[in-house]
Amino acid sequence: MNHRFGTSLPVLAIGLLVCASSCRGPHPEGLTEAGFTSVHLNGGGRNEGQDQPLEALGRHLQLDQVLDLAEEQGLDMALARTRLSVSAAEAQMARAVWIPELSLSADTWHNDGLVQATNGDFTYVDKRNAREGVGLSLELDLADALFAPRAANERLTAQRSLTDAARQATRQRAAILFLNLLEAQFEVEIALEARTHAQELERVERARFEGGASLEVNYQRAVAHTAQVSALVVEADRRRSVAASRLALHLDLDPGRNWQAQAPLSLEQWAGGDDLMAELDSSEEGSEGGGPSLVERAHLQRPELAAAQARVRAARLEARGESRRWLLPTFQASLFDGEFGPERGEGSDSMVHAVGLSWNLALGMAGQAKRARAYEAQAVLELAQLQRLIEAQVTEARAGLEAAVSRHDLAQARLAAADAGARLAEERHAAGAGLMLEALAAQSDLVGARMAVARARVDRLRATWILARAVGQDR
């Protein structure tokens, strides 16, 4: 009957700070580990470190509040921060490969019973052995030690860039949803003003009909026009409710609350659309004289490209490590200082140490190296594919902004013509020289023109945000 008892307490913290400072690469710009540690996530992955509680928010939301809320408690950002934490932990684990493992142990071994001798006979043996002391062991694969920490640092760099990309994407999404709500509110205001005017026109036509100065058909047409405009109010309010609930869902707010977007005094100046267009125009002019074009700026500023480049570097380091693994040995060293004897506390002091080198020449290493080179080629192709995609996004976003600016100018011209036509039709109708149908048609055209201008203004701002995001400009 054999008995064995042992305890082991791994202590891996010795030398961690020295090794981490020597193996850690430079941090790129963007969200650093220090910045990540200031984020406090609750059980649901939400950030609890926001400065302003949700209860302090009013019913009217400003763009700065919307952007801050999207960045602080959006699910996309919570997921990006969690992935960054995982990458940071993996980099720390990779850097710890250089650190020896210190163990404190106390072991006892007891054989009480029969054992078989070499000649086949069985002999009763009562034998005991005990060991207590401190041990230090190290098994170091040089291929992993030389290349794994650097590859892990590159993956951490890539995840930082992806976190920045997630932050830009969630801020752009929040801005677009805010603009959608603002557009719906504009439509509601226009529809309400149109309904007030239609009700006034209906009241005038009713008085004229009852006084015998107009036909009943004109009064009925005015009633139908009021009903038509009232339907516009209902539809505009429905779109406003949908836009508010979508914005609240993105910001993780109460969707049942009557959220409203607060527009500044100068919408175009607030969004920076004119400044961005002037900047982009000057950039295009400067590109002919050697300045960076929009695509070149995107290549320099897009965090997705920085992440893809870091993944290529990580895959290249891993491929180099796998191709050199058969040349680099594995180093083993162990040291134990303590007492050996039949019982605990009855032994003599001894020190046992061992050092060795080994090379792994397994046939599967060729396949591992081939797989690592394939991963490297895949990362290079993904980088090229992403560059093409970003170039297409920049081209499409610039064309979208130019088209939005043209639509806005055309809508302004249409509004001016519709406003003049409506005033003229009302004057003719009041003087008895025009038909009621002309006045109603002119009013409908004016409402449509005002709706088109509101949509064109917001569409221009949306296109501005989309182009800024495609170029990699942080807003």
Domain with residue 226: its CATH number is 1.20.1600.10
- Residue 126: which residues within 8 A CB-CB, separation 6 or more? 111, 112
Residue 280 included in any domain: yes
**How much is the average pLDDT of 65-83?**
88
142 versus 28: the higher-pLDDT residue is 142
Computed over every residue of the chain, the mean pLDDT equals: 79
414-to-162, 196, 228, 445 alpha-carbon distances in Å: 44, 22, 22, 9
Residue 336 included in any domain: no
CB half-sphere exposure, 88, CA atoms < 13 A: 16
Residue 436 has pLDDT above 80, yes or no: no
CB half-sphere exposure, 128, CA atoms < 13 A: 10
Least confident residue range of 79-93, 189-203, 310-324: 189-203
pLDDT at 14: 31
Tokens found for residue 48: 């609890």
pLDDT at 429: 74
**Residues of the domain holding 436:** 57-108+140-331+365-471
- Most trustworthy range by pLDDT among 67-81, 118-132, 370-384: 370-384
Give CA torsion, residues 298, 303, 304, 309, to 10 deg.
100
Strand order in the sheet with 348-358: 2-11, 101-116, 122-141, 330-341, 348-358
Q: Tell me the C-alpha distance between 204 and 440, whole Å.
A: 13
Count of CB atoms within 10 A of residue 282's CB? 11
**How much is the average pLDDT of 457-474?**
88
pLDDT tens-digit map of 442-458: 888 888 899 899 889 88
pTM: 0.72
Q: Are 380 and 354 in contact (CB under 8 A)?
A: no
Count of CB atoms within 10 A of residue 102's CB? 18
Q: Are 260 and 185 in contact (CB under 8 A)?
A: yes
Residue by residue, DSSP assigns 81-94 as: HHHHHHHHHHHHHH
Q: Tell me the C-alpha distance between 52 and 302, whole Å.
A: 30
Residue 344 has pLDDT above 70, yes or no: no
Residue 359 included in any domain: no
Residue by residue, DSSP assigns 210-261 as: HTTSS-HHHHHHHHHHHHHHHHHHHHHHHHHHHHHHHHHHHHT--TTS--EE
Residue 449 included in any domain: yes
3-state secondary structure of 131: strand
Q: Are 340 and 131 in contact (CB under 8 A)?
A: yes
127 versus 191: the higher-pLDDT residue is 191
Instruction: Specify burial of residue 80 (Cβ count, 10 A radius: 0-12, 13-18, 19+).
Output: buried
Q: How many domains is the chain built from?
A: 1
CB half-sphere exposure, 347, CA atoms < 13 A: 20
Q: Tell me the C-alpha distance between 124 and 235, whole Å.
A: 96
Q: Are 189 and 237 in contact (CB under 8 A)?
A: no
Instruction: Specify burial of residue 111 (Cβ count, 10 A radius: 0-12, 13-18, 19+).
Output: middle
264: pLDDT confidence band, cut at 50, 70 and 90? low
Residue 49 has pLDDT above 80, yes or no: no
Residue 41 has pLDDT above 70, yes or no: no
3-state secondary structure of 297: helix
143: pLDDT confidence band, cut at 50, 70 and 90? confident
**How much is the average pLDDT of 118-127?**
76
What is the chain's alpha carbon radius of gyration, rounded to the nearest angstrom? 37
- Residue 99: which residues within 8 A CB-CB, separation 6 or more? 12, 14, 15, 16, 19
Q: Tell me the C-alpha distance between 122 and 119, whole Å.
A: 9
Least confident residue range of 3-17, 144-158, 228-242, 392-406: 3-17
pLDDT at 428: 81
Q: Tell me the C-alpha distance between 240 and 336, whole Å.
A: 74
Residue 32 has pLDDT above 90, yes or no: no
Q: Tell me the C-alpha distance between 188 and 191, whole Å.
A: 5
3: pLDDT confidence band, cut at 50, 70 and 90? very low
3-state secondary structure of 293: coil
pLDDT tens-digit map of 291-331: 678 898 899 999 999 999 999 999 999 999 888 888 888 88
pLDDT at 34: 31
Residue 5 included in any domain: no
399: pLDDT confidence band, cut at 50, 70 and 90? very high
- Most trustworthy range by pLDDT among 220-229, 251-260, 359-368: 220-229
Task: Name the one residue in this structure whose structure tokens are 């002391």.
Answer: 133
Give CA torsion, residues 174, 178, 183, 184, to 10 deg.
110
**How much is the average pLDDT of 54-81?**
80
pLDDT at 213: 76
60 versus 19: the higher-pLDDT residue is 60
Residue 267 included in any domain: yes
pLDDT at 58: 59
pLDDT at 197: 86
Cα 212 from chain centre: 68
Residue 12 included in any domain: no
Tokens found for residue 36: 């990540």
pLDDT at 239: 94
Q: What share of the chain in percent tops pLDDT 70?
A: 78
Residue 19 included in any domain: no
3-state secondary structure of 156: helix
